[in-house]
């Protein structure tokens, strides 16, 4: 059986690796907010019930107005969709049959959506373990490309690319008429979040993707948006199913966008958890990526990651495998940052792993 393409739903990972799933487990494979959804969302959720009786507002007016004012862009520059994933599909639909460059390792849906739209894909693989954006290497390739996908902060490494490198790339792409789809699904997990949104007026070739899934811990709701020039928004809109954003998602989105304090508390919480983990990992000989967000890559330099993956799954620890990330090819495991209780279990398992490894 093929390994699952994404984190979450760990039963598929257990099945594909033929490891018996324990009765209880800790899922580190889905990188969503460990504090969960904002309290206000839970409180107000019952009041949304009546909204299922009507079709959703296909123009998504209320939420679009709110997001436009918060993002300080025109309402014509925003399009909401059924999660960031739908918006990735729409960008790929817009690029059907064209040449697309994907800066790897990166979220696997870019390639999946582009393949489904008969794009010709070139992968540019950055060198581990720095994964520095190699602008010099990329520049000669841009001429032949219609678009480029770049994810910063990056999933799966958790690292943010240097601003000057991203801007240099954007400038070169603008000159060559190459669209840049910049995925900021995790930008709000960084201390002092930085967004390229302010550059939208300089770069008409820039499309920014946002997901509301991660920060607001609502993968089951499905909500995300795109920020771009109104001309691009019109094209994306023309491919979007009429009611793809449910009334429940619209209501949830309006509440979550106002939850600035929840976001600030989340960032502080994650930083604290990461500090403790980093301190621990230094003592283990395990290598971890310099993540700026709520997940990180980890590798045991002495052994094939498959051993560690199986070992952890047997003990009810579920990491995200990396076999379907070009450039990682399964050598690393990705872990979400979670809470103290989960980390205590994780650290204990790694301590045991160290002892186990020395017997192999």
Q: Residues in the site for ligand PLP, rule: CB under 6 A?
A: 83-85, 107, 151, 155, 183, 185, 211, 213, 219, 224
Nearer to ligand PLP, 4 or 224 (CB): 224
Nearer to ligand PLP, 56 or 156 (CB): 156
Nearer to ligand PLP, 107 or 131 (CB): 107
Residue 202: left if φ>0, alpha if ψ -120 to 50, beta else—which one?
alpha
CB of 202 to ligand PLP, least distance (A): 23
CB of 32 to ligand PLP, least distance (A): 9
Nearer to ligand PLP, 213 or 350 (CB): 213
Return d(Cα 323, Cα 330) in angstroms, integer.
4
CB of 186 to ligand PLP, least distance (A): 6
Nearer to ligand PLP, 183 or 342 (CB): 183
Return d(Cα 360, Cα 358) in angstroms, integer.
6
CB of 163 to ligand PLP, least distance (A): 18
Nearer to ligand PLP, 251 or 350 (CB): 251
Residue 357 CB contacts under 8 Å (≥ 6 apart), including other chains? 300, 302, 303
3-state SS, residue 101: strand
Residue nearest to ligand PLP (CB): 83
Nearest to 258, CA basis, from 66, 113, 29, 112:
66
Nearest to 21, CA basis, from 12, 31, 32:
12
CB of 246 to ligand PLP, least distance (A): 14
The kind and range of the H/E element at 298 are strand 295-299
Nearest to 228, CA basis, from 30, 94, 63:
94
Nearer to ligand PLP, 183 or 300 (CB): 183
Q: Which three-class secondary structure string do you get for 63-90?
A: HHHHHHHHHCCCHHHEEEECHHHHHHHH
Residue 119's φ and ψ, nearest 5 degrees, are -75, 155
For 76, 253, 275, the CA distances from 59, given in Å and listed in that order, are: 11, 14, 43
Helix, strand, coil % in the chain, rounded to nearest 5: 45, 15, 40
Nearer to ligand PLP, 56 or 84 (CB): 84
CB of 334 to ligand PLP, least distance (A): 10
CB of 211 to ligand PLP, least distance (A): 3
CB of 256 to ligand PLP, least distance (A): 12
Return d(Cα 138, Cα 173) in angstroms, integer.
10
Nearest to 169, CA basis, from 198, 187, 145:
145
């Amino acid at each position: 059986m093929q390994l699952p393409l994404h984190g979450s739903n760990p039963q598929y990972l257990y099945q594909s690796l033929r490891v018996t799933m324990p009765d209880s487990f800790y899922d580190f494979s889905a990188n969503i907010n460990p504090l969960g959804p904002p309290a206000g969302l839970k409180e107000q959720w019952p009041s949304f019930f009546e909204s299922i009786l009507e079709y959703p507002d296909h123009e998504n007016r209320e939420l679009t107005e709110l997001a436009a004012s918060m993002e300080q862009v025109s309402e014509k520059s925003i399009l909401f969709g059924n999660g960031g994933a739908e918006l990735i599909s729409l960008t790929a639909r817009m690029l059907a049959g064209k040449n697309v460059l994907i800066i790897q390792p990166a979220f696997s849906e870019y390639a999946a959506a582009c393949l489904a739209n008969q794009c010709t894909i070139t992968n540019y693989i950055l060198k581990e373990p720095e994964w520095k954006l190699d602008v010099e290497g990329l520049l000669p390739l841009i001429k032949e490309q219609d678009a480029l996908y770049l994810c910063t902060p990056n999933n799966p490494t958790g690292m943010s690319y240097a601003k000057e490198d991203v801007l240099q790339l954007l400038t070169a792409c603008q000159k060559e008429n190459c669209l840049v789809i910049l995925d900021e699904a995790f930008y709000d997990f960084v201390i002092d979040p930085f967004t390229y949104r302010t550059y939208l007026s300089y770069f008409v070739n820039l499309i920014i993707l946002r997901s509301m899934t991660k920060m607001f811990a609502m993968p089951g709701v499905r909500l995300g948006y795109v920020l771009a020039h109104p001309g691009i928004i019109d094209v994306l809109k023309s491919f979007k199913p009429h009611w793809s954003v449910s009334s429940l998602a619209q209501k949830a989105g309006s509440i979550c966008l106002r939850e600035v304090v929840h976001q600030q508390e989340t960032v502080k919480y994650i930083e604290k958890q990461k500090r403790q983990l980093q301190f621990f990992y230094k003592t283990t000989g395990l290598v971890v990526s310099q993540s700026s967000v709520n997940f990180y890559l980890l590798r045991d330099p002495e052994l094939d990651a498959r051993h560690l993956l199986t070992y952890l799954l047997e003990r009810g620890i579920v990491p995200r495998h990396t076999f379907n990330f070009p450039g990682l090819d399964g050598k690393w495991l990705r872990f979400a940052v979670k809470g103290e209780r989960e980390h205590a279990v994780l650290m204990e398992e790694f301590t045991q792993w160290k002892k186990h490894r020395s017997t192999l």
